[in-house]
C-alpha cells in the first residue's frame, strides 16, 4: 500500500447530517450523503467516536466500546455504512479511545463496587500523608487531575475530564481489552484506526509531583514504554492486515519519537498527528490566549518536521483542521477579504507536502468560525472550564469571551452547512450547535458557484497521479522569506522536481526562483488563480494575494 497516495476525510458524526430531526447528526444521515462524499474521491473516512457514551466529552468518554450509541444509530446502520462506502472504495477509520474510558463504563463501575480485578484497570492512589492529592498534576481540561474514588480513601487519575478515568496500561488485561476491541471492529470490515492521545498511555507506576506545567507533561508523555505497548497492540490486532491504516494522535510529541512510532521496520503505526504547527498562535505556549500567528515559526516547524521525518523514514498526517481546532481559515487565512483564495492556499500548502492529507468535513467549503455573541452559545466542557478560569484569573467577561471565541473547539463542531436555510439543511429539528453564515457558505452554493470544492478535487487527483507528491522527498526553499512558504519535492532520481510556492498574505510579494531551476521549461500543475499550463521559469515570480502555485520541472 502506498500511504502517499491516500487522502482521508474526517466526519464528526454529531454534526454531519441529522436524518431523524433530533438535532444531532447520525449514521443514517451519513449514509444519505455518500453521493456527496463520493465526489471528492477520498480513500477513507475517519469517524469521531459514536460508541455508547454519556457524552461529557462528546463521545471521547466511552461507556461501551462494542455498541453504537442509540442517538447515532444501530449496528445494522453501521454495517450498511461500511458496505456502502466499500462500494465506492472508501474505507472506514474508527476512533479508539484507550487512554481512558468513561466512569460509566462497567470496568469503572465494577472497580467502584470493590472488584479487585477492575480496580487494577485504573490509576487508584491514596492521598499524601498530609491529605494532599496523590500528585499535583493538572487535568488538561482544567482543575486537578485526581478525583475521589467513591467512598474510599483513594483517588483516580483523569488527565482529561473527571468523567474520563485513565486506564492503567501496565496491566496486561487492559492491553488485551484494547486489542479485543480493535479486532471486534476489524471483523466488521473496519480497516483504519485512529488512536486517541496514544502517547500518554505510558505513565510510570510510581507517580510523582511535577515541578512545573511543562515538566509535568514529560512525566507521562512519549515514555519509552509507549513504543512497547503499540508494538504489542499492532501484533495482537491491526498489524495482522498490511492494508490497515493507523494514526496515533500524539500530544506534545517530538520528531525523534514520531519517527520511531511510524518507521515501517518498527511495526507500530502508519502515521502520527502532531500539533506543534497549530500552536504558533498561542502566547507562551498557552492555548487560552489570543495572538496573531507567527508565520516564520510556522514555516520553521513545517520545514523541520518534513525534512527530518523524510530523513528518518517517518510518516506524517497532514492537516490544519479537526474537531479540536478552530477553523484554520480564521487563524492563518483571511476569511473576510480572501476566503476562497486563502482556503485554497492553505489546502495546497499541506496537500503537496510529504505525508497523508486529512480533510475535515466542511473544509472543502471554506467553513469559518461561527459568529456567536454569547458564552451561552458554547457547550464544550473544555471551553466552559477555560472561560471560568479566565474570569477567576481576573479577565473581564468581555476579554474572556473574546479568547473563547477564537479558541473554542465548538468552532469546528458547528453542523455542516448543506444549504442556506435556517438550520443550514442539517436538521429539521433544533441543531445542537447553531450554524451561522450558511447563507454564503454551504454545499449547494459551493457545488454550483464555488471554487474551493473543485480545487480540493484537483489536489486529491494530483496526489493520486503525481509520484512527486506521493513519493517525493522534501526540501525547504526560501526559508527566510517573510510571506511565502516554499518547498521542493523531488524523486530519488532527481529527474522531476516540484516547486511549491504559497503566499500566506493579502499582498503581492516576489519569490526568487532557486537558481538551478531558473530559465527552465516547466509545467504549472496547479494554481489557485489559473489553469494548468506550460511556462518558462524566470528568476522570480510575483504572487497574487494568497496565491499558491505548484510548478513541475522535468530535467
Ligand atoms: C483528543 C480528542 O481529539 C479530543 O476531542 C478529546 O477531548 C481528547 N482527546 C480526550 O479524549
Ligand 1 contact, 26 CB (< 6 A):
no
Rounded Cα distance, 487 and 467, in Å: 16
**Ligand 1 pocket, mutate which of 62, 158, 197 (most atoms under 8 A from CB):** 197
Tell whether ligand 1 has an atom less than 6 A from the beta carbon of residue 344: no
Which atom of ligand 1 lies at the shortest distance from residue 161's CA? Answer: 10
Q: Tell me how far apart the alpha carbons of residues 289 and 410 are, in angstroms, rounded to a whole number.
A: 16
348 vs 205 pLDDT, higher one: 348
Q: Is the pLDDT of residue 516 over 90?
A: yes
C-beta of 160 in contact with ligand 1 (< 6 A): yes
**Residue whose CB lies within 8 A of the most ligand 1 atoms, among 53, 97, 384, for a mutation test:** 97
Q: How far is the CA of 540 from the centre of ligand 1 (A)?
A: 44
Pairing of the two strands 44-47 and 356-360: unpaired
pLDDT of residue 494: 83
Determine contact, residues 425/356, Cβ cutoff 8 Å.
no
State the cell numbers at 422: 435556517
196 CA distance to ligand 1 middle (Å)? 7
**223 C-alpha to ligand 1 centroid (Å):** 20
Average pLDDT, the chain: 97
Q: Verify whether ligand 1 is closer than 6 Å to residue 197 (CB atom).
A: yes
Q: What is the pLDDT of residue 373?
A: 94
pLDDT band, residue 495 (cuts 50/70/90): confident
- Is the minimum distance from the CB of 390 to ligand 1 under 6 angstroms? no
- C-alpha distances in angstroms, 476 versus 84, 145, 415, 421, 459? 41, 41, 37, 45, 20
- Cα 55 from Cα 25, distance rounded (Å): 14
Nearest-CA residue for ligand 1 atom 8 is 60
Q: Which atom of ligand 1 is nearest to the CA of 160?
A: 10
What is the whole-number distance in angstroms between the Cα of residue 132 and the centre of ligand 1? 28
Angle between helical axes of 295-312 and 255-262 (0-180°, round to 10): 40
User: pLDDT at residue 455 above 90?
Assistant: yes
Q: What is the pTM of this model?
A: 0.97
Determine if ligand 1 sits within 6 Å of the CB of residue 166. Answer: no
Confidence of residue 205 (pLDDT cuts 50, 70, 90): confident
pLDDT at position 512: 98
**Which residue out of 46, 160, 200, 251 has the highest number of ligand 1 atoms within 8 Å of its CB and is therefore the one to mutate?**
160
Q: Is the CB of 167 under 6 A from ligand 1?
A: no
pLDDT over 90 (residue 296):
yes
Quote the ligand 1 centre to 380 CA distance (angstroms).
Answer: 11
Q: Say how many Å lie between the CA of residue 550 and the centre of ligand 1.
A: 35
Q: Whole-angstrom Cα distance, residue 501 to residue 486?
A: 5
Percent of the chain residues topping a pLDDT of 90: 98
- From the alpha carbon of 249, which atom of ligand 1 is closest? 1
Ligand 1 neighbourhood includes 96 CB (under 6 angstroms) = no
pLDDT for the residue numbered 278: 98
Cell numbers describing residue 202:
505510558
**Catalytic site positions:** 196, 249
- Report whether pLDDT(541) > 90: yes
- Distance (Å) from CA 495 to ligand 1 centroid: 43
One-character DSSP codes across 117-158: HHHTTB-EEEPPTTS--SS--B-TTSSBSEEE-TTSSEEEE-
Q: From atom 6 of ligand 1, which residue's Cα is the shortest distance away? A: 60
Residue 237 alpha carbon to ligand 1 centre in Å:
23
Ligand 1 mean position to 11 CA, how many Å? 15
Say whether 189 sits in a helix, a strand or coil: coil
* Pair type for strands 548-554 and 521-527: antiparallel
Q: 493 pLDDT exceeds 90?
A: no
At 362 the pLDDT is 98
Closest atom of ligand 1 to 57 CA is: 7
What would the pLDDT profile of 139-176 be if each residue is shown by its tens digit?
A: 999 999 999 999 999 999 999 999 999 999 999 999 99
**For the segment 326-351, what is each residue's pLDDT rounded down to a tens digit?**
999 999 999 999 999 999 999 999 99
Q: Cβ atoms within 10 A of the Cβ of 41, count?
A: 17
Kindly state the average pLDDT of the residues 415-426: 98
Is the CB of residue 222 below 6 angstroms from any atom belonging to ligand 1? no
| The pLDDT of residue 531 is above 90 | yes
Contact 290, 402 (CB under 8 A): yes
Rounded to a whole number of angstroms, the CA Rg of the chain reads 24
- Report whether pLDDT(555) > 90: no
Q: Is 98 in the pocket of ligand 1 (CB under 6 A)?
A: no
Q: Is 123 in the pocket of ligand 1 (CB under 6 A)?
A: no
pLDDT in tens, 235-277: 999 999 999 999 999 999 999 999 999 999 999 999 999 999 9
Amino acid at each position: 500500500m502506498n500511504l502517499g497516495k491516500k487522502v482521508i476525510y474526517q466526519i464528526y458524526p454529531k454534526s454531519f447530517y441529522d436524518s431523524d430531526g433530533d438535532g444531532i447528526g447520525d449514521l443514517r444521515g451519513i449514509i444519505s450523503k455518500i453521493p456527496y462524499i463520493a465526489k471528492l474521491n477520498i480513500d477513507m473516512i475517519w469517524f469521531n467516536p459514536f460508541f455508547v457514551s454519556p457524552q461529557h466529552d462528546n463521545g471521547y468518554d466511552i461507556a461501551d466500546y462494542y455498541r453504537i450509541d442509540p442517538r447515532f444509530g444501530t449496528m445494522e446502520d453501521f454495517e450498511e455504512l461500511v458496505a456502502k462506502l466499500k462500494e465506492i472504495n472508501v474505507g472506514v477509520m474508527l476512533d479508539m479511545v484507550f487512554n481512558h474510558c468513561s466512569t460509566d463504563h462497567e470496568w469503572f463501575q465494577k472497580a467502584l463496587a470493590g472488584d479487585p480485578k477492575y480496580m487494577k484497570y485504573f490509576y487508584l492512589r491514596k492521598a499524601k500523608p498530609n491529605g494532599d492529592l496523590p500528585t499535583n498534576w493538572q487535568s488538561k481540561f482544567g482543575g486537578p487531575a485526581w478525583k475521589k474514588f467513591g467512598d474510599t480513601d483513594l483517588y483516580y487519575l483523569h488527565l482529561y475530564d473527571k468523567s474520563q478515568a485513565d486506564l492503567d496500561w501496565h496491566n496486561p488485561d487492559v492491553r488485551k481489552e484494547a486489542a479485543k476491541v480493535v479486532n471486534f471492529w476489524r471483523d466488521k470490515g473496519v480497516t483504519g484506526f485512529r488512536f486517541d492521545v496514544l502517547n500518554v498511555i505510558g505513565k510510570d507506576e510510581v507517580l510523582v509531583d511535577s515541578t512545573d506545567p511543562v515538566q509535568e507533561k514529560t512525566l507521562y508523555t512519549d515514555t519509552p514504554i509507549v513504543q512497547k505497548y503499540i508494538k504489542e497492540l499492532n501484533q495482537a490486532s491491526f498489524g495482522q492486515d498490511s492494508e490497515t491504516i493507523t494514526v496515533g494522535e500524539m500530544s506534545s510529541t517530538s520528531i525523534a519519537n514520531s519517527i520511531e512510532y511510524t518507521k515501517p521496520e518498527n511495526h507500530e503505526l502508519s502515521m502520527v498527528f502532531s500539533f506543534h504547527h497549530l500552536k504558533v498562535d498561542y502566547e507562551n505556549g498557552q492555548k487560552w490566549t489570543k495572538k496573531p500567528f507567527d508565520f516564520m515559526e510556522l514555516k520553521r516547524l513545517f520545514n523541520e518536521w518534513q525534512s527530518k521525518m523524510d530523513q528518518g523514514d517517518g510518516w506524517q498526517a497532514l492537516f490544519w483542521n479537526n474537531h479540536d481546532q478552530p477553523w484554520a481559515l480564521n487563524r492563518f487565512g483571511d476569511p473576510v477579504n480572501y476566503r476562497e483564495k486563502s482556503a485554497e492556499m492553505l489546502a495546497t500548502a499541506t496537500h503537496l507536502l510529504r505525508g497523508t492529507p486529512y480533510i475535515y468535513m466542511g473544509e472543502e467549503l471554506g467553513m469559518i468560525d461561527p459568529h456567536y455573541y454569547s458564552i451561552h452559545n458554547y457547550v464544550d466542557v473544555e471551553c466552559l472550564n477555560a472561560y471560568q478560569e479566565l474570569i477567576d484569573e481576573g479577565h473581564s467577561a468581555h476579554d474572556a469571551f473574546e479568547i473563547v471565541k477564537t479558541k473554542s473547539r465548538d468552532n469546528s463542531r458547528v453542523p455542516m452547512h448543506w444549504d442556506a436555510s435556517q438550520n443550514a439543511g442539517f436538521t429539521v429539528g433544533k441543531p445542537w450547535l447553531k450554524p451561522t453564515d450558511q447563507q454564503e457558505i454551504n454545499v449547494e452554493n459551493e457545488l454550483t458557484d464555488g471554487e474551493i470544492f473543485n480545487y480540493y478535487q484537483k489536489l486529491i487527483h494530483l496526489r493520486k497521479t503525481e509520484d512527486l507528491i506521493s513519493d517525493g522527498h522534501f526540501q525547504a526553499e526560501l526559508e527566510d522569506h517573510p510571506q511565502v512558504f516554499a518547498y521542493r519535492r523531488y524523486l530519488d532520481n532527481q529527474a522531476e522536481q516540484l516547486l511549491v510556492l504559497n503566499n500566506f498574505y493579502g499582498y503581492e510579494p516576489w519569490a526568487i526562483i532557486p537558481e538551478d531551476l531558473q530559465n527552465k521549461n516547466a509545467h504549472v500543475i496547479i494554481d489557485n488563480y489559473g489553469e494548468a499550463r506550460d511556462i518558462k521559469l524566470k528568476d522570480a515570480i510575483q504572487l497574487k494575494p494568497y496565491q499558491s502555485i505548484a510548478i513541475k520541472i522535468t530535467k
